[in-house]
A and B are shown apart, each in its own frame.
Chain A
């Protein structure tokens, strides 16, 4: 009904955004992919270039498993996902459920959500501060358990873990807010009907609530993994990837290659690998998007 007439004028609705995205996102993406097939000396090596970069110590250091950190930026990102993803997702769900009926729950939610509105460069400052030997509160708590105080971000064996656990504190608000919204959409009748039938709260949770929250879980997991893959600011300011690359991540390594060493080809390889990972992560969400449209 609405289309047909004046089809050409429709073009002007799309032209500005397509120009903007085309020139400043799509063209750069293909340009980076193209660059990634050339070695640093400018020779076309296709995928050999990827093998070269992946064999470097700063990207993938399998020896690290026996000799200690660094394990390489790629594995550091994966480690970030393995630890941070389950912790934040689960914590957010628990928080959303607990705070649903607690007095003052919305105030507590706002406090927990503070980490999400904090610019990540500031988040990094706070993490560095928390783990500091003299002024850090983490050491004050650990001292109660009898742990020797130290600047946790300054030692290869603890730097990455400090940042990962610290970033749980920053990011938990995300899954909490989404799960809270999700819980709000579940009609009360469901659980009440189940209660009348004699279901325990635990069974109601696992058999009714959790399945209904599945779409939210997918969104939370997807967005969280994307965040963990793209992590940059926190590491930049808290440790600069150090000490000795022990907390380095892909985003930061790309920056080092491109803007410190001016090796744009290696940087392109790192960026392309990172993009492929993010696109893989997006697949489940894209398929539901398609399903939605029918």
Chain B
């Protein structure tokens, strides 16, 4: 019994040491952001002198060429509609896939699921051309539309799986009372689906916020760049300015971090429900 207890203790200590390994890189980022360069140049883990400051955060926020204040605002302008639109259009279609029957339904559904696997590189060049034709290149609307299309297959898959778990009896009763399909969806199904919609919202918002590739292709004028696009440009020309870069990285990370801290339940549910029924 005593041997078992020591073993358990060992596992607990090992587990906490392991979590230390995982947190140290983030800690390094934080230390580099809040301390002057001369304190961290020989390693941020030296604490001979420790003078925390917020200069780097201000420097990143008001960066002379790529201010992050502007970038974060742009990211929000893109991410909010690029979350709402696909959730709406994909949810109604997901309901259709869960409840209606029509000839090619299964083929269509498999195709849409397959779209989840495709790399963005596969659509990048044609989307660039389409947006140029539509005059939506270098515009938020163009990027919002592409994100909406890109997020739809996953949301559709996720919401359909959720809808199939709902009891069909309520809908049948409403049907007998003369409700139309759209009434049933908006009055009965939607209110019951709020937890699933919350999960989809959290994940889609985080993906759009974190996206780099699509923004890189579609937005190019300096004032329009989203937050993630500004990080590579903050590196400095002749040497890496780690202080500013770390502060900027932390600011961009702050948004997903806060969402995760407050909405963790929905995030994990979305992540797991994506795959396990």
Report which A residues bind B (CB closer than 8 A): 1-3, 6-7, 9-10, 12-14, 16-18, 20-21, 23-29, 31-32, 35, 95, 98-99, 102-105, 107-108, 110-115, 117-122, 125-126, 128-130, 132, 134-135, 137, 140, 169, 174, 177-178, 181-182, 185, 215-216, 219, 223, 226, 229-230, 232-233, 236-237, 250-251, 254-255, 258-259, 264, 267-268, 270-272, 274-275, 278-279, 281-282, 286, 289-290, 292-293
Contact = CB atoms under 8 A, between A and B. Distances in A.
B149 A24 contact: yes
5 contacts: A102-B15, A121-B210, A178-B275, A236-B212, A278-B118
A14 B96 contact: yes
For the complex, would chain A's binding face be called helix, strand, loop or mixed by DSSP majority?
helix
Contact of A108 (B15, B113, B115, B257): B15
A258 B213 CA distance: 13
B42 interface: yes
Q: Which 4 A-B residue pairings sit nearest by Cβ, starting from the closest?
A: A119-B210, A28-B126, A24-B149, A13-B96
B188 interface: no
B180 interface: yes
Q: Which of A27, A129, A259, A290 has the most CB of B within 10 A?
A: A129
A2 B15 CA distance: 53
Contacts of A20: 86, 89, 145, 148-149, 152
B1 interface: no
B92 A125 contact: no
Contacts of A132: 240, 242
A266 to B, nearest CB: 11
For the complex, would chain B's binding face be called helix, strand, loop or mixed by DSSP majority?
helix
Interface in B1-23: 11-12, 14-16, 18-19, 21-23
Contact of B276 (A110, A178, A264): A178
B73 to A, nearest CB: 17
Interface string B227-263: 0100110000000101001100100110011011000
Interface residues of B, number: 97
Contacts of B113: 286, 289
A213 to B, nearest CB: 11
B90 A17 contact: yes
A16 B92 contact: yes
Contacts of A223: 275
Contacts of B252: 119, 121-122
Nearest to B32: A135
Contacts of B41: 134-135
Contacts of A21: 112, 115, 149, 152-153
A251 B213 CA distance: 10
Contacts of B28: 126, 129-130, 135, 137
A33 to B, nearest CB: 9
Given A28-B123, A102-B15, A232-B120, 4 more contacts: A111-B19, A135-B44, A233-B228, A259-B217
B145 A24 contact: yes
Contacts of B22: 111-112, 114-115, 169
Nearest to A223: B275
Nearest to B232: A237
Given A24-B145, A24-B146, A122-B249, A169 B25 contact: yes
A290 B106 CA distance: 9
Contacts of A216: 275-276
A119 B251 CA distance: 11
Contacts of A177: 268, 271-272
Contacts of A35: 125
Contacts of B92: 13, 16-17
A113 B14 CA distance: 17
A125 B112 CA distance: 34
Given A32-B125, A98-B14, A251-B119, A117 B206 contact: yes
